[in-house]
Amino acid sequence: MRIGFIGLGSMGVGMAGNLIKGGHALTVWNRSADAAKPLAEQGAKVAATAAEAAAGADALHSMLANDAAVRQVILEGGVLDTLPQGAVHVNHATVSVALARELADAHERRGIGYVAAPVFGRPTVAAAGELNLVVSGKPDAVAKVQGLLELLARKVWPMGDDPVRATIVKIGGNFLIGAAIESMAEATTLTRAHGVSAKDFLAVMSGSLFASPIYQVYGGLIAEEAYSPAGFKMSLGFKDIGLARAAAEAERVPMPFASVIHDALLEALAAGDGELDWSAMARVAARRANLDDSRD
């Protein structure tokens, strides 16, 4: 199968590599050309433009940062005019509900399949092909790319025909991750103020009551203050919590804790921490309590 892959950030590069390992011919594109070099060494063709990466593809995967990037590259960059009819575009980005609907309509008008397949997992998980993919789209489009999705994922979670369904599951899931991080940030600040280190407290919590990947992974980052390099940047977390608030407002769904997380992330961005991992919300909580960031 001829595959295009657009967006080779910390997640996309590992995902594209797994498609190559699966025996597929890839044409890749990234705004920063240097990101494509490891894939070129694995046999991928490097395109000069996103539209060139899409030309003649049976399937196109994209992993772009936000709504603005998806709009600029996919809707305004000639990609949909280049993809042949009958091809399928698999969008792995976390986008707004409004843009998900717009994308579905734009693809439908051109006779191109559209599958929303946002991912849960960090860069190391992506590179290992162990992501959780939440997938929705028309059955024929999903069936065409099912084998490709399985190369990327530990599990593919079907969410029905409407691409909005996978999109809102991803938004809701990222809200839950943000809520867990903020809860750990506040709880560890409380224990530190009373002489118990974040490392000791989180070892108990992640090994007993909250023995789950989110608490273990992000708790470990908080315990070690391992905020850089970021697996998921604070700025991206701020974007995703904004998507949750917008989706909630559209349907009149009160989400008071989303506002708490939003404000913590905004405070971090104001302090210049936007490039840190969003587990660094613990730094915000510590500053509020007049505790420094050094380890106990």
Q: Which residues are catalytic?
A: 170
Crossing angle between the packed helical segments 163-193 and 256-270, to the nearest 10 degrees: 70
d(CA 277, CA 104): 31
Sequence letter at residue 139 = P
If you search the block for the tokens 């594109």, which residue do you land on?
29
Residues 6+ apart with CB under 8 A from 249: none
Instruction: Check if the beta carbon of residue 266 is closer than 8 Å to that of residue 276.
Output: no
If you search the block for the tokens 């315990």, which residue do you land on?
223
**DSSP H or E segment with residue 113:** strand 113-116
Question: CA 122: distance to chain centroid?
Answer: 8
